[in-house]
Amino acid sequence: MTTLSTLVNSFESLWPAFGAEKWDAPGLVAGSPESTVRRVLLTVDITGAIIDEACQDFDLVLAHHPYLMRGVTSVGENTAKGSAISKAIRANLAIFAAHTNADIVEAGVSDTLAKAFGLTQLSPLVATSPVEGHGRIGLLPRPMSLGEFARMIARTIPATASGVRVSGDYNQIVSKVALCAGAGDSFISDAVAAQVDVYVTSDLRHHVMQEARESALISGGAPALVDISHWAAEWMWLDVAAHQLRSLHPEIEFVVSDLRTDPFDFVITQ
């Protein structure tokens, strides 16, 4: 029998907590370290539907996003977070999160996305060590148009209502790519400094994006910007994490949830 504390030690070996940003809150959210773990459900987000799925026959939810990131003044069951946490506790369901500490490592969230896009000669966009850091920079196997690149992304990541949104000339040739899985508009200046052709991330805000594109047009149009679903970008990592954990703990079943936790359900264009 494998205890939760043993499994947490393995999480620490893969995604050391000291690598997390100071504002972050990874780690054990709920559960007893001495509890036994037989089945683990992997997900990007904790939602009521995820908790319902996990309560069926899982002992632990391993999430990317911490569920109690910001201050919570109540876990009353008349609140969304209180309802989910209470249900998990009653079902003896543990919850653990690996967030920015899983973003920066090799085979981490951004590294997985870069490899899924076929990028080579990878290096961090914002380095925390020679081989680790936020985001990735790499080269495409061959130069291609921005439109073709965006279509490749759409085929690679899970489909979502928001799709793949692009700011740039469809026919612009791209070869050098920077990306950051998750919300990465704070790294646009790093992508510009790296002289990449295109930067891929999520949750791009209107004014930040507009200013970046206006500046790019003055200097020849690079980098183009590609905005993809936050959930879809990070969901790609779950299979990699599950594979790593199966190698360390073959006695435990690791299952990636197929539930889409992307918050958008549909889009209307006209």
Name which CATH class applies to 104-230: alpha beta
Going 214 to 216 to 220 to 225, the CA torsion angle's sign is negative
256: helix, strand or coil: strand
Average pLDDT of every residue of the chain: 95
pLDDT range class, residue 221, cuts 50, 70, 90: confident
Per-residue pLDDT reduced to its tens digit, 12-30: 999 999 999 999 999 999 9
User: Is the model's pLDDT at 135 over the cut of 80?
Assistant: yes
User: Is the model's pLDDT at 71 over the cut of 80?
Assistant: no
* Fold match, 2-102 / 104-230: yes
pLDDT score, position 95 = 98
| Domain edges within the chain | 2-102, 104-230
User: Is the model's pLDDT at 220 over the cut of 90?
Assistant: no
Counted residue by residue, the chain has a size of: 270
Name which CATH class applies to 2-102: alpha beta
Question: In this structure, are residues 200 and 160 in contact, taking their beta carbons and an 8 Å threshold?
Answer: no
pLDDT range class, residue 69, cuts 50, 70, 90: confident
Pairing of strands 39-43, 27-30: unpaired
Stronger pLDDT, 76 or 253, i.e. the higher one: 253
User: Is the model's pLDDT at 231 over the cut of 80?
Assistant: yes
pLDDT score, position 269 = 86
